């Protein structure tokens, strides 16, 4: 698996991938040499490379970079979708084993949790 972006999210996903038995290739915008500590922490199934090398490293490429309009437009132009999970401060909204919370698209529920008529 290749990882473009190896910050908190990319490193966490890489750790989970390694625990599941995958090899990972990490990259970031500062170059492979800046990932030495992260790779050492992840162990022998992890290595660092350039973004291009990480993209070519496996059948799955995970991109965890800040989403900007230009990046979103590019990713969508090549047939992929972008999911912005929001800032880390809101990460409780996507906690494992809990409901995902967000702004409702329909009518709000009443105080008993039932939809408003």
**Can you tell me the mean pLDDT for 82-99?**
64
In a domain, 10, yes or no: yes
Query: Averaged over 27-33, what is the pLDDT?
Result: 94
Identify whether 39 is part of a domain: yes
Residue 75 forms part of a structural domain = yes
Structural domain contains residue 11: yes
Six-digit token string for 100: 């995902």
Give residue 92's pLDDT. Answer: 58
Question: At 21, is the pLDDT very low, low, confident or very high (cuts 50, 70, 90)?
Answer: very high
Distance between CA 83 and CA 3 in Å, rounded? 16
Indicate whether 17 belongs to any domain: yes
Domain of residue 9, CATH code:
3.40.50.720
Q: Is the pLDDT of residue 8 over 80?
A: yes
Whether 101 maps to a domain, the answer reads: no
Name the residue with higher pLDDT: 95 or 71.
Answer: 71
Which class for 2: exposed (0-12), middle (13-18), buried (19 or more C-beta within 10 A)?
buried
- Spatial distance between the Cα atoms of 88 and 85, rounded to a whole number of angstroms: 8
> Given pLDDT bands bounded at 50, 70 and 90, which one contains residue 50?
very high
User: Which residues span the domain enclosing 7?
Assistant: 2-86
Residue 113 falls within a domain, yes or no? no
Which pLDDT score is estimated for 37?
A: 97
Give the number of domains in the chain.
1
Residue 94 inside a domain? The answer is no
Residue 41 has pLDDT above 80, yes or no: yes
């Amino acid at each position: 698996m290749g990882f473009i972006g190896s910050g908190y999210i990319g490193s966490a996903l890489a750790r989970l991938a390694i625990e599941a038995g995958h090899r990972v290739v990490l990259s970031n915008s500062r170059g492979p040499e800046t990932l030495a500590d992260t790779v050492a922490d992840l162990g022998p199934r992890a290595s660092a490379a350039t973004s291009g090398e990480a993209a070519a490293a496996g059948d799955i490429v995970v991109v965890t970079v800040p989403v900007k309009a230009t990046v979103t437009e590019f990713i969508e132009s090549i047939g992929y979708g972008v999911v912005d999970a929001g800032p880390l401060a809101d990460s409780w909204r996507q906690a494992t084993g809990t409901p995902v919370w967000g702004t409702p698209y329909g009518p709000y529920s009443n105080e008993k949790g039932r939809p408003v008529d």
